[in-house]
Every structure is written in C-alpha cells, then in structure tokens.
Amino acid sequence: MRYKALIFDMDGTLVDNMEYHKQSWIELFKHHQLDLDYETFDKQYHRGSLVEIMARLFPHISDRETLREIGSYKEVLYRELYHPHIKPIEGLEVFLNQIQQQDIPMGVATMGDQHNIDFTFEALKIGSYFHSTTGGHEVERGKPHPEIFLTAAQKIAVLPEDCLAFEDTRSGITAALAAGMDVVGVSTMFDKKTRLELGCVKTISLYSELNLFDTKDF
C-alpha cells in the first residue's frame, strides 16, 4: 500500500447520520424563530466551522463565545436525536481492523466538536483504531479550507500527500484535495458519479466494498 496514513471524516463517513444533523438544524431554526428552510440554509450558510455558520445565521451577534454556545445547543439536539439510531456504515470495523493490522496510522478530521467525537467513538467502540482526532473546535477555518486535514496529517507526522482521505461532502472532498491528499468518496449524500467528478480516486457506499490491500491502485 503506497499510502502511509488514512484520514477519515466522521459525519456521513464513519456513520450515516446526516439526516439527524438536518433535523437538528431545523429544530434550531424553530427554537430561534428563524424564517429559514433547510434547502436555503444548505446552499447559502452551511460551510466552514460551526462558529462560522452561526455567524452567518446570527449576524447581529459578534461575540464568538455566544456563537459557540448556540452551536453547542444545536449539537446537543443532534446527539439526542441520533443516539437511539447510531450505527457504523456497513463494513467499517472490519476495514479499520484490516488497516490496523498493517500498522498504518489512522486519524479523524471532522468539523464536529469533541462531544460529538466522543459520542460517536463511545457508541461504536472504535476509538482504539485511531491515532488522533481533529475536531472543528481546533481549527480557525472550516472545510472547504484544507486546514483541518493539514492539522490531522501533522498530528500523525505524515505528509499530506502520503495520506488517503475518506469524505462524503463536496466541501470535505474539496478540503482534502486542497491539502494534497487523494480522496475516497463515501456515497452517503451524493451519487458516485458526482464524487468521481469532484476528483475522488474511488467511491464507495459501504466499506465492505473496499479492500485496499487487494487493489493495486492503492
């Protein structure tokens, strides 16, 4: 295998949870009486870090700590909604075990906060597979900026160009490519054709489809 490390997004990549994030955003809009539908939000506001998103939604609030608190409330809503349903994308643990057996370090680069990382890792019992995690609370600029992937690579002491990233969203794929990484597109949100057009070297729906050690391309 020519890659020296694997870097995974979390939401929509380790778990198929984006519908629950959508529901939590809608609940947040209702709570703050925002006249905003999800489709408009997704097109016009939904990029960057959680604080960056909240700053767009609440332009009259300049205090970053207040924006973080609103973001934290949204994430609490998400965890409450998803907790009864959380499960990994099919084949994930078998795949992670294969990688671990090859002594290839793995990291996570997610715009989720530490609470969401802990929530996911504890529910799925996958924390032992990863050498490090990098959350949105640790970077100034969110995806599609490459900062989070560059930080994740730095944490495991591997050059970005020697890393293979796993991502599901347009902004995440763009961020990983901008960091100099090859990308496997995980098709939980968009079709495979779209991900290949964005520049992914391969696209999957389930981890059971993928065996890097039998694939000469990798």
Q: What architecture is domain 18-84?
A: Orthogonal Bundle (1.10)
186 three-class SS: strand
What mean pLDDT do residues 189-201 have?
Answer: 83
Question: For residue range 72-110, what is the model confidence (pLDDT) as tens digits?
Answer: 999 999 999 999 999 999 999 999 999 999 999 999 999
User: What pTM was estimated for this model as a whole?
Assistant: 0.91
Q: Which CATH architecture has domain 5-16+88-214?
A: 3-Layer(aba) Sandwich (3.40)
Answer yes or no: same fold for 5-16+88-214 and 18-84.
no
Domain limits of the chain?
5-16+88-214, 18-84
The pair of structure tokens assigned to 164 is 């293979």
Residues in CB range of 30: below 8 A, 6 or more apart: none
Which residue pairs, CB below 8 angstroms and at least 24 apart, start in 178-182? Answer: 178/144, 178/145, 178/146, 178/149, 179/146, 179/149, 179/150, 179/153, 180/146, 181/7, 181/149, 181/153, 182/3
Render pLDDT for 101-145 as a digit per residue (tens, 0 to 9). Answer: 999 999 999 999 999 999 999 999 999 999 999 999 999 999 999
